[in-house]
């Protein structure tokens, strides 16, 4: 069978026998193998000085008929043009074009024992004459060597090739390794030496641009992948994309989620088999406080910080910003606000709240609204008007107040709410347009009785928790904290007797789970810091003096009363230091990320401790236990 490779030794040997040539190879065999490689190294050395990559090209496979003709010619002859009997050697400082790249010189060999390093040359001649380049002229003009020169092939001494001195060690290395040099036919039609004889002397480059091209399908997939990242990054903002969570968060793999099966795993730990292999189980008995502590200890820091956030959002759908805040940052609560366009109709509101709850996979979500009735009736377009606190207070009938609380709880539960930012327990003494119609009366006893009755009705079902507000009291100020900083000038004794009396009585009843702190200056306690940022008011008065151990919630940290003192992120840190647990104000993932970063920085300096964070999270989860969101697991 005829060898498939036209350059194989079998084809060459057969052709030589047919032509009557006994020892004539393609490039002659008059020199010994050692001289071949010395001269070859001399050519490479010349190329190296010019800093030109050597390419050994055999033929262009684009034309089948031309390739066949070249194949037949190359069995016996090779076209080597010489100009004037001498080679023109290029200098290193001369620019060389693509069509004038130097090729290694070819010399004759007198033996067939050593394989040829180079089997063929391109049409560019050894002298660098580009007129013989088929890529330039378009054709190959090949003639037998005898037509080009009368010098026999086996007499190379008549056309000597200048030799460059070669270090002995390189010559010896080449002689020792030449037998193992493989030559492969590249897919593009180029012969390449795949292994250089010396690691310090690469003979040829086997780089093939065609093989490095990317497939169209792969390129399309990469472009689509990058487009998704860019679009997500533009949507969620630069802070989240480049912030502490990293860019991978846009692919749905947020770094803050931690153990999303936390509660499931805890439930498994709380029951165990009596004996190995037994199907009977025993329940681990613990108090609610112990169960909440167990949860807190299993949470990551980001999960804990997320629980300390009550966020807002715009729009009537479960959009990307609110989805990100819930699923990625594990925010503990969401405030639904009609002014933000969150409420359209019953079906929309119910579906929206259900989607938000479903997105919170680690700790159940608290969904809040400030449904007071009267001037602050957020659901009036859905359920009709509800009586204001002033209207209920005027009846002086606790039963009506209790019934109003039960009705609100029924309305809220039907949509999925479990936290109501009511009732207001301010004791009105002067007119304030912002507080008009929102208080139960102008005496501490009246407010305590009616607000207490409403709170009982609201929380009776065990599905909705109420919030007393606005501590330390807005009943004796005329400035709206949304617009400026109120100044409360009452003495401490009057504050205790009037403004704090309802708080003291209701806290003592054990029915209060959350209290909201407002932003105002209380001159008798802290003349420099707003109440929401003051440890003297939150820690000393609300925690210690009044004995409240539930959740302390800030009013919005974006109000003008507070922004004159600190940014939202700074206010978040100061509020925690002062003693607050649940921080209101963030309305985007960027806001939450910024608050996270500020709190972590404060923790790194020791201003806020891990124990302080744990205390707040414990109180928040105890409130959720009261809502029925975190029941102790049972068999």
Cβ atoms < 10 Å from Cβ of 207:
11
Pairwise CA distance, residues 590 & 608, whole Å: 22
Cβ atoms < 10 Å from Cβ of 227:
10
Pairwise CA distance, residues 311 & 610, whole Å: 23
Pairwise CA distance, residues 377 & 386, whole Å: 7
- Residues 369/414, Cβ–Cβ less than 8 Å: no
Pairwise CA distance, residues 484 & 497, whole Å: 26
Vertex 500 angle, CA 559 and 577, to 5°: 50
Pairwise CA distance, residues 595 & 578, whole Å: 16
Q: If residue 333 lies in a helix (H) or strand (E), which one and from where to where?
A: strand 333-335
- Residues 419/333, Cβ–Cβ less than 8 Å: yes
Pairwise CA distance, residues 432 & 542, whole Å: 24
3-state helix, strand, coil in the chain (%, to 5): 45, 10, 45
The token pair at 368 is 């809040």
The token pair at 238 is 């630069």
Pairwise CA distance, residues 426 & 419, whole Å: 20
Helix, strand, or coil (residue 17)? helix
Out of 87, 555, 581, 590, pick the active-site residue: 555
- Residues 585/557, Cβ–Cβ less than 8 Å: yes
Closest CA to 331 of 352, 308, 362: 308
- Per the listing, tokens 């990242």 go with 229
The token pair at 31 is 């020199």
The token pair at 413 is 């539960």
What is the secondary structure of 531-590 as a DSSP string?
A: GGG-HHHIIIIIIIIS---SEEEE--TTSHHHHTT--HHHHHHHHHHHT--BEE---SHH
200 is catalytic: no
Pairwise CA distance, residues 449 & 456, whole Å: 11
Phi, psi angle pair for 179, to nearest 5°: -65, -25
Helix, strand, or coil (residue 626)? helix
Q: If residue 369 lies in a helix (H) or strand (E), which one and from where to where?
A: strand 366-369
93 is catalytic: no
Pairwise CA distance, residues 481 & 432, whole Å: 11
What is the secondary structure of 397-433 as a DSSP string?
A: -HHHHHHHHHHHHHHHHHHT--EE---B-----S--G
- Residues 29/110, Cβ–Cβ less than 8 Å: yes
The token pair at 574 is 């100061």
Out of 135, 345, 381, 482, pick the active-site residue: 482
Which residues have CB under 8 Å from 67's CB, separation 6+? 59, 60, 61
Closest CA to 330 of 610, 515, 596: 596
Pairwise CA distance, residues 400 & 147, whole Å: 122
Pairwise CA distance, residues 495 & 502, whole Å: 11
- Residues 241/247, Cβ–Cβ less than 8 Å: yes
Active site residues: 482, 555
């Amino acid at each position: 069978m005829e060898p498939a490779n036209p350059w194989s030794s079998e084809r060459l040997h057969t052709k030589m026998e047919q032509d009557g040539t006994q020892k004539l190879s393609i490039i002659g065999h008059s020199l010994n193998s050692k001289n071949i490689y010395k001269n070859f190294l001399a050519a490479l050395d010349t190329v190296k000085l010019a800093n030109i990559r050597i390419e050994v090209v055999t033929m262009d496979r684009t034309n089948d008929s031309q390739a066949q003709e070249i194949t037949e010619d190359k069995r016996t002859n090779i076209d080597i043009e010489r100009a004037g009997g001498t080679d023109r050697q290029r200098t290193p400082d001369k620019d060389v074009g693509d069509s004038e790249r130097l090729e290694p010189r070819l010399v004759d060999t007198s033996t067939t024992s050593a394989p040829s390093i180079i089997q063929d040359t391109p049409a560019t001649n050894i002298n660098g004459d580009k007129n013989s380049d088929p890529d330039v002229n378009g054709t190959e003009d090949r003639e037998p060597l005898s037509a080009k020169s009368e010098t026999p092939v086996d007499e190379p001494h008549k056309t000597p090739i200048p030799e460059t001195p070669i270090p002995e060690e390189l010559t010896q290395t080449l002689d020792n390794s030449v037998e193992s040099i493989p030559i492969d036919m590249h897919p593009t039609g180029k012969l390449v030496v795949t292994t250089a004889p010396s690691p310090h002397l690469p003979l040829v480059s086997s780089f093939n641009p065609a093989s490095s091209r990317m497939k169209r399908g792969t390129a399309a997939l990469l472009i689509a992948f990058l487009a998704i990242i860019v679009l997500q990054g533009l949507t969620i903002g630069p802070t989240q994309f480049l912030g502490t969570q990293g860019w991978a968060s846009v692919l749905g793999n947020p770094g803050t989620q931690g153990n999303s099966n936390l509660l499931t795993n805890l439930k498994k730990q709380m029951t165990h088999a009596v004996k190995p292999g037994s199907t009977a189980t025993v329940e681990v008995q613990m108090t609610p406080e112990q169960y909440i502590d167990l949860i807190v200890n299993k949470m990551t820091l980001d999960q804990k910080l997320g629980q300390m956030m009550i966020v807002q959002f715009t729009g009537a759908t479960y959009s990307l910003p609110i989805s990100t805040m819930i699923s990625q940052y594990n925010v503990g609560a969401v405030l639904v606000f009609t002014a933000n366009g969150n409420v359209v109709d019953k079906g929309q509101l119910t579906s929206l709240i259900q989607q938000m709850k479903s997105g919170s996979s680690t700790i159940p979500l608290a969904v809040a609204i400030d449904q007071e009735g009267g001037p602050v009736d957020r659901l009036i377009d859905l359920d009709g008007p509800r009586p204001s606190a002033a209207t209920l207070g005027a009846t002086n009938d606790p039963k009506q107040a209790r019934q109003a609380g039960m009705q609100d709880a029924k309305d809220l539960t039907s949509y999925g709410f479990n936290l109501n930012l009511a009732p207001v327990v301010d004791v009105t003494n002067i007119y304030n347009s912002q507080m008009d119609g929102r208080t139960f009366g102008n005496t501490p006893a009246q407010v305590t009785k009616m607000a207490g009755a409403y709170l009982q009705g609201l929380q009776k079902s065990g599905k909705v928790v109420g919030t007393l507000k606005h501590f330390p009291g807005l009943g004796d100020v005329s400035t709206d904290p949304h617009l400026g900083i109120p100044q409360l000038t009452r003495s401490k004794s009057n504050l205790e007797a009037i403004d704090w009396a309802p708080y003291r009585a209701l806290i003592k009843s054990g029915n209060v789970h959350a209290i909201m702190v407002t932003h105002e200056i209380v001159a008798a306690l802290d003349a420099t810091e707003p109440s929401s940022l003051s440890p003297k008011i939150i820690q000393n008065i609300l925690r210690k003096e009044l004995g409240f151990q539930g959740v302390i919630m800030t009013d919005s940290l974006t109000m003008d009363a507070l922004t004159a003192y600190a940014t939202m992120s700074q206010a978040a840190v100061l509020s925690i230091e002062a003693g607050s647990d649940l921080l209101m104000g963030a309305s985007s993932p960027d806001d939450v990320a910024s608050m996270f970063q500020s709190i972590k920085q404060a923790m790194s300096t020791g201003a806020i401790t891990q124990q302080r964070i744990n205390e707040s999270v414990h109180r928040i989860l105890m409130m959720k236990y009261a809502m029925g969101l975190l029941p102790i697991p049972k068999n």
